[in-house]
Amino acid sequence: MPIIEVRGLYKTFETKDATVEALKNINFTVEEGDIYGIIGMSGAGKSTLVRCLNFLEVPTEGQVIVEGKDLGEMTPPDLRELRSSIGMIFQSFNLLMQCSVIDNVCFPLTIHGVSKRDARKKAKELLRTVGLEDKAKAYPAQLSGGQMQRVAIARALACDPKILLCDEATSALDPQTTHQILELLRRINRDTGITIIIITHSMNVVREICHNVAIVEAGEIVEDGLVEEIFAHPKSRAAKRLIVEGKDPDYYDEALEDSTENPALDTLMENRRIRIVFTTNSSYEPVIANMILTFNEPVNILYAATKDIGGVARGEMILGLSTDPEVFARQVAYLEERGLAVEDITDLGWPLEGRSY
């Protein structure tokens, strides 16, 4: 059952010099209990979008429907009441630095008129949930970034929301702490059934926790669907760039500096490049070795790794194939006949700038 429906949403900002279309014709649905990712590069419009979901930003046009209620038709008091069922956490934590951890968690409960005794009881339960019961009397300045984000999660859950919006909630954290926070969110989703929407620029975050994802580029959703399907068969250029995130290893960077004196590297850069994804059924045959023997053509392995997609290991490789269009087409057909998902990523360029494997 849909808990959020977004229909024909536009958001325009008027500046001194121009009109900026931040969002254009956004349409998507989030099912109750889902962990839904919204991913895009900086400036794509994803943070504006998440703020439209609770009407902190009022859309210029379109509808946001939460639990069957059109937010645009609600009175201010009704809208404030509905917002209590939508928790939100941010990249910057937004904790009250002069208040203790337990007082931070109590804050939204106090605003809603809950007695001090009941608020503290609920806050202690939430701190136990996020693993910080021993930090109740500490202050935010005494905590690590991961601990502060756990406090922010506990505070966001204080009023028993049905939806939790996470706006770049792990961007300020190191990889290990990011993993711990994502595991916490996954457990909360499993134990409570809360619907979680994660705004991020990292495909690693989406791969680790999300069931469905929408990819935003220049204010528009260019692709959406199951994470595993988009990982295996990205259709849009934006999806391909987000999935193939990284540049080649250091030895390749060093070689690039001497490319004018390295004919072999020039040939590598001219190759048609593809990305292949191995499923369970396609991981036993030595496909690459057999393809080299079949076509008597060299294959350059530019990148190989295993990624966890919703708890299932999926292998992926980036290969440099023949520059001959006919041979290239036959090589791709050979791989597809063996059950491999194949994407031509030649047009993305290589190495991909600004990323690291």
Which of 352 and 145 is assigned the larger pLDDT?
145
- Which residues pair with residue 66 across a beta bridge? 4, 69
- Give tens-digit pLDDT for 148-166: 999 999 999 999 999 999 9
Instruction: Count CA within 13 A, CB hemisphere, residue 338.
Output: 18
Q: Report percent pLDDT > 90 for the chain.
A: 51
Residues 252 and 240: their CA atoms lie apart, in Å, by 21
Residue 282's pLDDT is 53
Preceding omega of 351 cis (within 30 degrees of 0): yes
- Domain 244-348, CATH homologous superfamily name and number: ACT domain (3.30.70.260)
Left, alpha or beta for 34 (phi > 0: left; psi -120 to 50: alpha)? beta
Domain boundaries along the sequence of the chain: 2-232, 244-348
Q: Identify the residue with better confidence: 135 or 281.
A: 135
Question: Over the stretch 179-198, which tens digit does the pLDDT of each residue have?
Answer: 999 999 999 999 999 999 99
Name the fold adopted by 2-232.
Rossmann fold (3.40.50)
Question: Tens digit of pLDDT for each residue in 111-128?
Answer: 888 999 999 999 999 999
pTM (two decimals): 0.79
Highest mean pLDDT, choosing among 92-96, 211-215, 247-251, 295-299: 211-215
Query: Bridge-partner residues for 6, per DSSP?
Result: 28, 64
Model pLDDT for residues 98-107, shown as the tens digit of each residue? 999 999 999 9
The whole-angstrom separation of Cα 103 and Cα 110 is 9
**pLDDT by residue (tens digit) across 235-266?**
888 888 887 754 333 333 343 344 444 444 44
